[in-house]
Amino acid sequence: MANKSNFTWGGRFHEGPADLMLRFSESASFDRRLAPFDIAGSKAHCSMLAKVGLITAKERKAIHAGLDSILADIAAGHFAWDRRLEDVHMNIEHALTSRVAAGAKLHTARSRNDQIATDMRLFFKDACAVLGARVQAAQRALLGVAVANRDVLLPGYTHLQRAQPVFAAHHLLAWIEMLDRDRARLAGVAEKANECPLGSGAIAGTTLPIDREYTARLLGFVDKRGRARVTQNSMDAVADRDIFIEFASACALFGVHFSRIAEDLIIWSSAEFRFVSLPDAFCTGSSLMPQKKNPDSCELLRGKSARLQGNLHTLLALVKGLPMTYNRDLQEDKPPVFDSFDQSVICADVLEGTVGGMSFNRERCAEAVSDPGLLATDLADLLVSRGVAFRKAHRAVGAIVALAERKGCAIPDLSSDEVNRVHPAFGGDWASVFNLGRAMEMRRGTGMPGPSQLSRQFARWTKTLG
């Protein structure tokens, strides 16, 4: 029947769609994953129809039982998906009507347009919670490594040139901050998704006496006080894809963050740096060069991040020129969203595994951070504390750096005479600046990398991440 004339809309057609058109236009192959949300939406809609008297309690019961049996079949892998029935909605409705006569009443006061909008809002609420928890797990792994290596110091870099010393833990905590903003963004998307579009119909609602708030409450579209949240404009409700874009954007930005983390790890694990070694379980070897250990998980994280940006761009381009309201183009909104979700979840897991298994090469880190040049700014600060204007202090220390360079020695190896000839405020104790313990201890303001701050941030994150 389906290929002659579709069972849901075939009434005014003389001929069924071409086989090519069926193959071209079906979405069941990818939107079937929405089945649990679709069925939850249908059950709530059905309960509402019974509540307002559009179907009987008996019919409601029969439809619920039918939908439950379909969900069980889908979960067990027994459900016969038929691409001639286009999408997840029609596959389920067709199966329902063949099992339960009252199934033909389910689509009362509903369109696939408000149905898919509802399915996707339920999907986003779930997806944001799932992905948020995986990002949190990666943060926890980072915190664990930070705490276990709390005494390891590293050069911090700007322009990929050695800048100033930081605790490795401070660097790891910077990543945790980035990931926390990703989690907050995901929570924001879930919050925006928390409005029920059902009742918007195809575009202009319905003439039937439905109770939108009742359906919304059944589906958990409620505010903190349990009051129903429903969309406020039927046209916007079926045309809007902002949340899709915001979700993809949150994933893309998460991707930018894990890509930067991955890049740091690739640099840190290179023979030139050797600050960390990455876990064998997340690296691969070379088929040609026996000595190689490649940071593949990090490189793939970097690569996947490009894909997440692509998905965001696909969605922006998809929606940009569409007239109000629903257009079939919008069926193409799902593959990029699902891909962004699936890839972000696996990337969060791989990030967790990679950072969780990495170890710091303490000797090598100590050697790198012992470069006295890293404390040149502290020396300028010393002059400032003695009343020298910062610009002048900067120049004086610059001259000392140049002097040491010329003499081919380290700054602390210069004599006090030489140094005081550049500026008398250096005094006799200038070399005491070249002490990492002092340098870190003095960085005690909020957000700075000193040990007292580190303890504070550890406590804060242990509390936040649980």
Binding residues (CB under 6 A) for ligand ARG: these are 27, 31, 87, 112-113, 116, 326, 328, 330-331
Task: Determine the angle formed by the axes of helices 242-269 and 112-148, rounding to 10 degrees.
Answer: 20
Phi, psi at residue 328, to the nearest 5°?
Answer: -65, -20
Active site residue 313: no
- DSSP state, 110? -
| Tokens found for residue 407 | 């003499």
Provide the minimum distance between the beta carbon of 144 and ligand ARG in the complex, in angstroms, as a whole number.
Answer: 42
**Is the CB of residue 6 less than 8 Å from the CB of residue 14?**
no
Q: Which residues of 257-281 are buried (b: 16+ CB within 10 A; e: fewer)?
A: bbbbbbbbbbbbbeeebebbbbeee
Nearest to 175 by CA among 439, 461, 463: 461
8 vs 361, beta carbon nearer ligand ARG: 8
Shortest distance in whole angstroms from residue 245 CB to ligand ARG: 16
The answer to whether the beta carbons of residues 231 and 318 sit under 8 Å apart is: no
92 in Cβ contact with 42 (< 8 Å): yes
Q: Output the smallest distance, CB 325 to ligand ARG, in A.
A: 10
Residue (32 or 274) nearer to ligand ARG, CB: 32
Tell me how far apart the alpha carbons of residues 65 and 70 are, in angstroms, rounded to a whole number.
Answer: 9
Question: In the complex, what is the shortest distance from the CB of residue 236 to ligand ARG, in angstroms, rounded to a whole number?
Answer: 16
CA angle 169-177-131, nearest 5°?
115
State the DSSP H helix or E strand holding residue 464, giving kind and residue range, or none if neither.
Answer: helix 451-465
Cβ at position 9, least distance to ligand ARG in Å:
8
Report the alpha-carbon distance of residue 299 to residue 135 in Å, rounded. 19
- Smallest gap from residue 5 Cβ to ligand ARG (A): 16
Shortest distance, position 111 Cβ to ligand ARG, whole Å: 7
Q: Judged by CB, which is closer to ligand ARG: 6, or 149?
A: 6
Task: Report the residue number, 83 or 162, with the smaller CB distance to ligand ARG.
Answer: 83
Smaller CB separation from ligand ARG, 13 or 390: 13
Q: What's the angle, vertex CA 148, arms to CA 143 and CA 151, rounded to 5?
A: 110
Query: Which of 239, 250, 124, 113 shows the shortest CA–CA distance to 192?
Result: 124
Query: Is the CB of residue 410 less than 8 Å from the CB of residue 128?
Result: no
When the beta carbons of 39 and 400 are compared against ligand ARG, the nearer one is 39
404-409 long-range Cβ contacts below 8 angstroms, 24+ apart: none
Here the tokens at position 310 are: 């692509």
- Catalytic site includes residue 159: yes
Question: For ligand ARG, which is the closer residue by CB, 237 or 298?
Answer: 237
The DSSP-derived string for 314-357 is HHHHHHHTPPSS--GGGGGGHHHHHHHHHHHHHHHHHHHHHHHT
Minimum distance from residue 272 beta carbon to ligand ARG (Å): 50
Candidate list 14, 159, 287, 415, residue with the active-site label: 159
Angle between helices 451-465 and 112-148 (to 10 degrees): 140
Instruction: Select 331 or 457, whichever has its Cβ closest to ligand ARG.
Output: 331
Residue 328 or 406 with smaller CB distance to ligand ARG: 328
Q: How far is the CB of 341 from ligand ARG (least distance, A)?
A: 16
Q: Which of 29, 98, 270, 286 is catalytic?
A: 286
User: What six digits make up the tokens of 288?
Assistant: 């040609």
Q: Mind giving me the DSSP string for 38-103? A: HHHHHHHHHHHHHHTTSS-HHHHHHHHHHHHHHHHHHHHT-----GGG-SHHHHHHHHHHHH-GGG
By annotation, the residues acting in catalysis are: 159, 286
